[in-house]
Homo-oligomer: A and B are copies of this chain.
Amino acid sequence: MSERRRESVLRAIVEGYVSTSEPVGSKALAQHHDLGVSPATIRNEMAALEQEGLIAQPHTSAGRIPTDKGYRYFVDMLAATAVQDSHKRAISTFLSDAVDLNDVVERSVRLLSQLTRQVAVAQYPSLRESPVRRVELVRMTSDRALVVVVSADARVEQATIGVPGAVTEEEFERFARELNEAASGLTPEALDKALSGWTQRHTTQPWLRDVASSVVSASRGGTIERVVFSGTGNLTRQGSDLKADAVTSILDALEEQVVLLRLLHEMASEGGVSVRIGRETGQAALAGTAIVAAGYGTVTSSALLGALGPMRMDYPGTMAAVRAVARYLSKVVET
């Protein structure tokens, strides 16, 4: 009972089940995957694998299918698979003519969902440390103004704040100029100090505090972390194991975002391409599904990109696609 062979059997079972979506038995396995052993031997190995909890049989008289643990073992013994050439080409043509960050992320997620035939999710870069490039204060009505913050990496954040009607146009313009001078080029930490100094000098104008705080929050993290997704149709597309109520809870979880964000954060800390299978997600709503994710971006602005689908998933292919898109995305975001 060489360890070697047992792994081959597991691999064959996973591959067989993934491609046919039907439990695979000892006979078919011995025939097709030309490992020079008889069905009986394979049955022995299978029994052992089942003992270890790596495979299971749906009913007594059926073949075996991998369990969560089985998929996990399979993934762990996987060497990195090369990306298909067609995929490579798709990535560069699809992403080359994106116009801004929004567009890049949106295209990426759409592309990834097509390559993997799964639901693709992407978290927007959170831009923790992005310095402020410019701040604009625009008065919209007599009692409301818009704060527009342009960060060094071409992101534009906005917020609405209240302004006392008593503030004249000239005063307002002056404050706007001062603000711009005080804030330009500063990182969030420096910004915080500089602006608190600024508001201190104008204690008669309490609304400036709102302005300052919105600028600071825009520079650090910007808008609330957001997740976009694409390819939800793949969840119900023919060949998906997922039952209707499973799909429902996945869709709900996607829209909830909170659940997903927490999970992605956890995965982010692992580096490289990280995979969560079934229960490993820790989310009841995601039972029966697996997520493949990879970080993208630089140290200063990092986020995640991934694919979500039924546990019965082409892991090598999906991992390769996720890795490739993440890598390409990193390049684009960095420049």
Contact = CB atoms under 8 A, between A and B. Distances in A.
Interface of A: 99-100, 110, 133-134, 136, 138, 140, 144, 146, 148, 150, 152, 154, 156, 158-160, 230-238, 244-245, 247-252, 254-255
B136 A148 contact: yes
Instruction: Kindly list the 10 A-B residue pairs having the minimum CB-CB distance in the complex, ordered from nearest.
Output: A233-B251, A233-B252, A236-B248, A236-B247, A236-B244, A233-B248, A156-B158, A232-B251, A134-B138, A237-B248
Given A150-B148, A158-B100, A160-B99, A255 B236 contact: no
Contact of A146 (B154, B158, B236): B154
Given A148-B148, A238-B244, 17 more contacts: A100-B158, A100-B159, A138-B150, A146-B150, A148-B150, A156-B156, A156-B158, A231-B255, A232-B255, A233-B247, A233-B248, A233-B249, A236-B245, A237-B245, A238-B245, A238-B248, A247-B247
B160 A156 contact: no
Contacts of A232: 232, 251, 254-255
B160 A100 contact: yes
Contacts of A252: 233
- The residue among A148, A233, A237, A254 with the most chain B CB atoms within 10 A of its own CB is A233
Nearest to A140: B154
A247 B234 CA distance: 10
B152 A148 contact: no
Given A138-B133, A160-B100, A255 B233 contact: yes
A254 B244 CA distance: 19
Contacts of A159: 99-100
Contacts of A138: 133-134, 150
Contacts of A255: 110, 230-233
